[in-house]
């Protein structure tokens, strides 16, 4: 609800404050006094583009501020306060604030559209947007329709979630199969090679012995002969045996040589043992070319595998573990993808069924709503006008179903139904909106409705019907109406008048809320007189209008 609107330095307004209340608020005044200027100021606060020529002459900027309250969504009955502020400057950018925080104009427009519907010539209305029309139709459809729509939204969310999971897994089955085959081939090749660090070391030793067998035989033969088989007792073992006998004889003469004798004897035994081991080594040396070829081929396997998957046997083994893990993940991913695809198909089928139910409920609701609004149009001097709600299929199902909702209007008999946004114009648009709002008031969440030029082109009994509609609407919402009709003015809960005042050679626009006596005089003026008869007529009109409140 709009609590206060303050305007400074806008056109003829130097400093003005407007305090509307609950129910029906009317604004009247002489032609040219600036009634619509107040609504222009509110339009600027709600996101309309501004140019420097709206600033009052002699001022560098215009300042617009409004305080709104709205019910919190928790249903506890509490309200929050929103303060809108906009400074329009001759040079430099406009400054827009919500609750003191600088915001872009688009955000001010978005938030404002949730608070106020402004209906009049060249004004934008939230009711003309497709999203609002869908919301109003669905709300009018009641609990069954809303529950069905909620089910559609939940099923759509599930489908989207499953789709996202499938996309994360990758959707190219052929590529996944090729990748799995490649991993499987690599893993099988590594497994078949059966590489071990121990075998590699043993093979390298065998290769060295086999590749240098003849040289090793010759070398070890000379060494063995020198140790044990040299002719003429010239081997190391023979010569050491001679030295051992001489040292034994000396030890008989001097017992202190006994320990040295033991060392020589031990050395002789070690040399004999070394000679025996050397003989065993010589016997193990093979000159088998086939064995050498086998060892060479096996070592080539090690070299090739390390070059391809290495660079070491340990690295090849680590890679095999990673390949196994990747293959398992890929195989699991494939089965997971199949399961997700099947689950998504089930949800898509359920979504299609729920969307069909939602469409059927919307079409049923649309027919009832169209009849009621068509009847309301006749009551606001739009005889022959007809209203319809189109429920057309969209190419794809979304969170709100698969329907495109559009309000249609035929303003005159014989004219085709066309989009509401393109059909009505001028003062007619306000009466169309009044009729629609009077039917949808309980479902519409916007708390403040403003009508400009609503009485254009009507008179007689029709004015009374429009006044009744405004009063009915004001039961549910705050209504602000600029009017020239005394009957509408008389129906108001609060009556404001806009007037001009000259001071210091300049003109100023003022506004005031009228007292009971002042209201009688203003209604009398609107009736065309200011004498006692006109005042009596105005007094009676006010009394009768308030008594006959619906």
Work out the average pLDDT over 64-93.
84
Contacts with 359 (C-beta within 8 Å, 6 or more apart), sequence order: 391, 393, 401, 402, 403
What Rg do the C-alpha atoms of the chain give, in angstroms? 50
Q: Does residue 253 lie within any of the structural domains?
A: yes
In this structure, what is the dihedral angle of CA atoms 435, 440, 446, 452, given to the nearest 10 degrees?
Answer: 0
Least Cα distance to 432 among 405, 410, 447 occurs for 410
Q: Could you tell me whether strands 494-503 and 24-29 are parallel, antiparallel, or unpaired per DSSP bridges? A: parallel
Q: Mean pLDDT score of the chain, rounded to an integer?
A: 84
- Which residues are bridge partners to 119 per DSSP? 451
Instruction: Return the pLDDT at 172.
Output: 66
Residues 363-396: tens digit of each pLDDT: 999 999 999 999 888 887 778 888 999 999 999 9
Least Cα distance to 496 among 476, 515, 478 occurs for 515
DSSP code at position 235: S
Contacts with 74 (C-beta within 8 Å, 6 or more apart), sequence order: none
Least Cα distance to 264 among 281, 286, 240 occurs for 240
Instruction: Return the pLDDT at 442.
Output: 66
Q: Does residue 275 lie within any of the structural domains?
A: yes
How does residue 121 score in pLDDT terms, banded at 50, 70 and 90?
Answer: low
**Dihedral sign, CA of 42, 45, 47, 52?**
positive
Q: Before 311, cis peptide (omega within 30)?
A: yes
Burial per residue of 360-385, b for 16 or more beta-carbon CB atoms within 10 angstroms, e otherwise? ebbeebbeebbebbbebbebbbbeeb
Query: Does the pLDDT at position 171 exceed 70?
Result: no
Work out the average pLDDT over 149-164.
94
State the total domains in the chain: 1
**Is 411:368 a contact under the CB 8 Å cutoff?**
no
**Is 153:161 a contact under the CB 8 Å cutoff?**
no
d(CA 183, CA 550): 81
Residues 188-246: tens digit of each pLDDT: 999 898 899 999 888 888 887 776 766 776 677 677 677 766 654 567 777 777 778 88
Query: Does the pLDDT at position 122 exceed 70?
Result: no
Query: Does the pLDDT at position 118 exceed 60?
Result: yes
Q: Does residue 53 lie within any of the structural domains?
A: no
Q: Quote the percentage of the chain above a pLDDT of 70.
A: 90
As given in the structure block, the two tokens for residue 69 are: 């309250």
Task: Provide the domain limits for residue 222.
Answer: 176-328
d(CA 478, CA 135): 20
| CA 405 to the chain's CA centroid | 24
**Is 229:216 a contact under the CB 8 Å cutoff?**
no
Q: Does residue 180 lie within any of the structural domains?
A: yes
How does residue 176 score in pLDDT terms, banded at 50, 70 and 90?
Answer: confident
Angle of helix 130-140 versus helix 427-440 axis, rounded to 10: 30
Instruction: Return the pLDDT at 296.
Output: 81
Triad 40, 43, 44: Cα angle to 5°: 90
Task: Give the count of alpha carbons within 13 A of 91, CB side only.
Answer: 1
Q: Does residue 283 lie within any of the structural domains?
A: yes
- Which residues are bridge partners to 410 per DSSP? 386
Work out the average pLDDT over 271-287.
78
d(CA 208, CA 352): 76
Instruction: Return the pLDDT at 71.
Output: 79
Contacts with 160 (C-beta within 8 Å, 6 or more apart), sequence order: none
Residues 517-539: tens digit of each pLDDT: 899 999 899 888 778 888 888 88
As given in the structure block, the two tokens for residue 342 are: 């099947």
Instruction: Return the pLDDT at 146.
Output: 93
Q: Which of 269-283, 347-361, 478-492 has the highest mean pLDDT?
A: 347-361
Contacts with 366 (C-beta within 8 Å, 6 or more apart), sequence order: 137, 388, 389, 390, 391, 405
**Is 423:435 a contact under the CB 8 Å cutoff?**
no
Residues 30-49: tens digit of each pLDDT: 877 777 788 888 888 888 88
Instruction: Return the pLDDT at 406.
Output: 92
**Is 545:491 a contact under the CB 8 Å cutoff?**
yes
pTM above 0.85, yes or no: no
Instruction: Return the pLDDT at 126.
Output: 66
Q: Does residue 256 lie within any of the structural domains?
A: yes
d(CA 363, CA 393): 11
Least Cα distance to 1 among 138, 132, 115, 141 occurs for 115
Q: Does residue 498 lie within any of the structural domains?
A: no
Give alpha helix (H) positions in 212-288.
213-224, 236-253, 258-284
d(CA 127, CA 136): 9
Task: Give the count of alpha carbons within 13 A of 513, CB side only.
Answer: 10
Comparing 8-22, 163-177, 406-420, 471-485, which segment has the lowest mean pLDDT? 163-177
How does residue 549 score in pLDDT terms, banded at 50, 70 and 90?
Answer: very low
Q: Does residue 533 lie within any of the structural domains?
A: no
- How does DSSP assign 44-93, residue by residue? HHTT----GGGBPTT-SEEEEEEEEEEE-TTSSS-EEEEEEEEEEESSS-
Comparing 210-219, 306-315, 405-414, 529-538, which segment has the lowest mean pLDDT? 210-219
CA distances from 11 to 16, 116, 464, 507 (A): 12, 23, 34, 10
């Amino acid at each position: 609800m709009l609590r206060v609107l303050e305007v400074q330095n806008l056109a003829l307004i130097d400093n003005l404050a407007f305090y509307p209340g609950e129910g029906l608020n009317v604004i009247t005044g002489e032609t040219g006094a600036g009634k619509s200027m107040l609504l222009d100021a509110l339009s600027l606060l709600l996101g309309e583009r501004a140019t420097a020529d709206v600033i009052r002459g002699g001022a560098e900027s215009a300042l617009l501020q409004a305080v709104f309250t709205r019910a919190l969504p928790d249903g506890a009955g509490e309200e929050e306060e929103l303060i809108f502020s906009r400074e329009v400057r001759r040079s430099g950018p406009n400054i827009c604030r919500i609750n003191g925080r600088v915001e872009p104009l688009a955000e001010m427009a978005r938030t404002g559209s949730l608070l106020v519907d402004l209906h009049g010539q060249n004004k934008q209305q939230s009711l003309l947007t497709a999203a609002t029309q869908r919301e109003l139709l669905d709300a009018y459809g009641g609990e069954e329709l809303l529950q069905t729509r909620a089910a559609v939204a939940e099923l759509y969310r599930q489908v989207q979630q499953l789709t996202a999971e499938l996309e994360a897994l990758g959707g190219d089955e052929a590529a996944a199969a090729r990748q799995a085959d490649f991993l499987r081939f690599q893993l099988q090749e590594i497994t078949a090679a059966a590489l071990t660090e121990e075998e590699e070391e043993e093979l390298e030793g065998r290769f060295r012995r086999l590749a240098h067998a003849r040289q090793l035989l010759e070398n070890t033969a000379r060494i063995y002969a020198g140790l044990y088989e040299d002719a003429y007792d010239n081997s190391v073992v023979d010569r050491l045996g001679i030295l051992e006998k001489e040292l034994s004889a000396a030890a008989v003469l001097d017992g202190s040589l006994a320990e040295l004798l033991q060392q020589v004897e031990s050395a002789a035994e070690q040399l004999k043992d070394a000679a025996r081991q050397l003989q065993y080594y010589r016997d193990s040396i093979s000159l088998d070319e086939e064995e050498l070829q086998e060892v060479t081929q096996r070592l080539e396997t090690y070299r090739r595998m390390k070059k391809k998957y290495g660079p070491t046997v340990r690295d090849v083994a680590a890679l095999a573990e990673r390949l196994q893990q990747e293959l398992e993940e890929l195989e699991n991913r494939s089965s997971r993808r199949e399961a997700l695809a099947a689950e998504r198909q089930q949800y898509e089928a359920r979504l299609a069924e729920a969307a069909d139910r939602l469409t059927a409920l919307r079409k049923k609701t649309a027919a009832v709503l169209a009849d009621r609004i068509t009847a309301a149009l006749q009551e606001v001097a739009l005889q022959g006008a007809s209203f319809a709600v189109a429920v057309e299929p969209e190419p794809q199902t979304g969170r709100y179903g698969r329907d495109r909702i559009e309000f249609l209007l035929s303003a005159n008999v014989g004219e085709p139904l066309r989009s509401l946004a393109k059909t009505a114009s001028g003062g007619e648009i306000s009466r169309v909106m009044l009729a629609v709002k009077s039917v949808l008031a309980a479902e519409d969440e916007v708390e403040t409705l403003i009508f400009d030029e609503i009485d254009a082109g009507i008179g007689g009994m029709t004015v009374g019907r429009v006044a009744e509609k405004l009063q009915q609407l004001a039961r549910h919402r705050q209504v602000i109406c600029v009017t020239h009709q005394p009957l509408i003015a008389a129906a108001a809960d609060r009556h404001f008048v806009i007037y001009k005042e000259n001071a210091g050679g300049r003109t100023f626009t003022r506004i005031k809320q009228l007292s009971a006596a002042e209201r009688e005089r203003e209604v009398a003026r609107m009736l065309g007189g200011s004498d006692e008869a006109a005042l009596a007529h105005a007094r009676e009109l006010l009394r009768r209008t308030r008594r006959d409140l619906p």
